Amino acid sequence: MMDDLKELYQEVILDHSKHPRNFGKLDPCSNEAHGYNPLCGDTLNVFLNLSSDDVIEEILFDGKGCAISIASASLMSEIVKGKTKVQASTLFDKFHDLVTKEDSTLLEDDDMERLVVLAGVKQFPMRVKCATLSWHALQSALNGNKDTTTE
């Protein structure tokens, strides 16, 4: 990876970790879940309002964690807003591949292109849990489960 690109990615991550988008509590909400990553200590809550036809109309998250976990939750919240439950699951699968595999075809997807800033965690397996925590919590919330712990 070119150094200036790496720097740009780090800037995006820092920006989202310092100024997370959609940060807060959604009360009342239709779905919520708590996610915990014991390896790093990241703890996040995801709150959703899901429409009757399974569209994520609103999403907020709060919690505490490392820069990667907060930046990833912030980016996720922006990307899944307005998506259906099924689309969000597909995005999670793709994002998981993005942070664990070398697969350049993933970047043909506009949403993955925005998430590529996190692809660098591939080199740090422990960090993959940080990056995917909010997505696991989203999945749990969408499936009506309250808690998720990454293992």
Binding mask 43-82 for Zn ion (x = CB under 5 A): -----------------------x--x-------------
Decide: residue 52, CB within 10 A, 0-12 exposed, 13-18 middle, 19+ buried.
Answer: exposed
- C-alpha 144/C-alpha 147 separation (Å) is 9
By CB under 5 A, residue 32 contacts Zn ion: no
By CB under 5 A, residue 13 contacts Zn ion: no
By CB under 5 A, residue 131 contacts Zn ion: no
For 84, list phi and psi in degrees, rounded to 5.
-85, 165
Segment near Zn ion (CB under 5 A); pick from 10-18, 88-96, 102-110, 126-134? 126-134
Choice from 46, 130, 138, 142 touching Zn ion (CB under 5 A): 130
Q: In what order do the strands lie in the sheet with 147-149?
A: 56-64, 42-50, 31-37, 147-149
- The binding site for Zn ion (CB under 5 A) comprises 40, 42, 66, 69, 130
